[in-house]
Amino acid sequence: MPYVNIKITREGATREQKQALIEGATRLLVDVLGKNPNTTVVVIEEVDTDNWGVGGESITVRRARGD
């Protein structure tokens, strides 16, 4: 019955990539802890680059600088 929350910046992840994240995270819980995949929930949250910061700067600013 695990719950996995994946937060990423909103930068164009495709439906296929999200499906791959859901599959991969579910398999990980099955493989490592023997969890039941049917009750494993994965929620992906996409966050604007203005709203995500690291090192005291937003990702928008870092991307503009070429980081």
**Residues designated catalytic:** 2
Amino acid type, 40: T
For binding to a second copy (CB under 8 A), which residues are involved?
1-9, 13, 15, 17-29, 31-33, 35, 37-47, 50-61
Nearer to a second copy, 35 or 66 (CB): 35
Least distance in angstroms from the C-beta of 66 to a second copy: 14
Shortest distance in whole angstroms from residue 57 CB to a second copy: 7
- By the 10 Å C-beta count (0-12 exposed, 13-18 middle, 19+ buried), 58 is classed as middle
Residues 6+ apart with CB under 8 A from 18: 44
